[in-house]
Structure 1
Amino acid sequence: MASFQDIAPDLGKYIIEFAYGDIYSRPGLDLKQRQLLTIACLTTQGDCEPELSVHINTGLNVGLTQTEIIEAILHCIPYVGFPRVMNAMTLAKRVFESRG
């Protein structure tokens, strides 16, 4: 959020208040389920590497395993194709390696 402070300070506020305040706090799904969905959604959108990296890290932080993240990304193949899944998997591999 800090990277937008000088150009669009309200953007960070909107993301935190809406996405995390309103959406992530809803009942019905736990944080692990929400992260799997977010990872799948960002994989299908493509061209979201910074956001996908954040959510893969967040998924690991809330208890997802590497296998669960890999399976969520692989599950997207029939819906979005190999190129987007390969890009997401490459990014996941970098995140996993960076965490040791």
Structure 2
Amino acid sequence: MSDPVLREKGRAVRRQLVGDICADKLDREVYTDPHMEKFGEITQEVLFAQLWTRPGLDLKTKSMVTLITDVSTGSFEAMSLHVRFCRIHGWTEDEVVEAMLHCIGYLGVPLVRKSILVARDVFREMHQNGELADGQ
């Protein structure tokens, strides 16, 4: 059973994490599908409204933790969103790449190589879309 209050809170947090351009695109291209709408309901109510709003870590730190879990599990599709989270919440491109490079010794070259390629594409897209203020 969906909780409309949690759903709205989660949608607001998701928008804060991915930015307006990406949130609008997700709403328009992904969450209009009835199956993905069910997925959105759960992730927005549980993940974004409850997990991401817990005290103890700021959004910047949570963004990097999430990105590193993607690197470690090879979750390259999700990584595209999570690189965006990191950039929007203050991590520089160099810091994102350095965090990935640090994983080479623990996870291996193939996962890190692919991760950096994903990050490169996200950086390019964000610059092309004007999603980052000058100097970010």
Q: Normalising by structure 2, what TM-score?
A: 0.66
In structure 2, the gaps of 5 or more residues are 1-25, 128-136
Q: Which has the larger radius of gyration?
A: 2
Residues 18-97 of structure 1 mapped to structure 2, 5 A cutoff: 18-46=46-74, 48-97=75-124
SS in 1 for 2:35: coil
Which amino acid in structure 2 is aligned with residue 75 of structure 1?
Answer: H
Partner Cα distance (2:107, 2:96) in 1 = 17
- Structure 1 unaligned spans of 5+: none
Q: Write the letter of the residue equivalent to 1:11.
A: F
- Distance in structure 2 (CA, Å) of the matches to 1:50 and 1:57: 12
Deviation at 1:91, TM superposition (A): 0.7
Task: Determine the C-alpha separation between the residues in 2 that align with 1:76 and 1:17.
Answer: 31
Give the counterpart letter for 1:97 in structure 2: R
Instruction: Quote the RMSD (CA, aligned, Å).
Output: 1.5
Tell me, in whole angstroms, the C-alpha distance in 1 between the residues paired with 2:103 and 2:121.
19
Between the two proteins, what is the percent identity of the paired residues? 29
Report the Cα offset of residue 7 of structure 1: 2.2
Asked if 1:12 corresponds to 2:40, the answer is: yes
Matched length: 99
- How many angstroms does 1:8 deviate by? 4.4
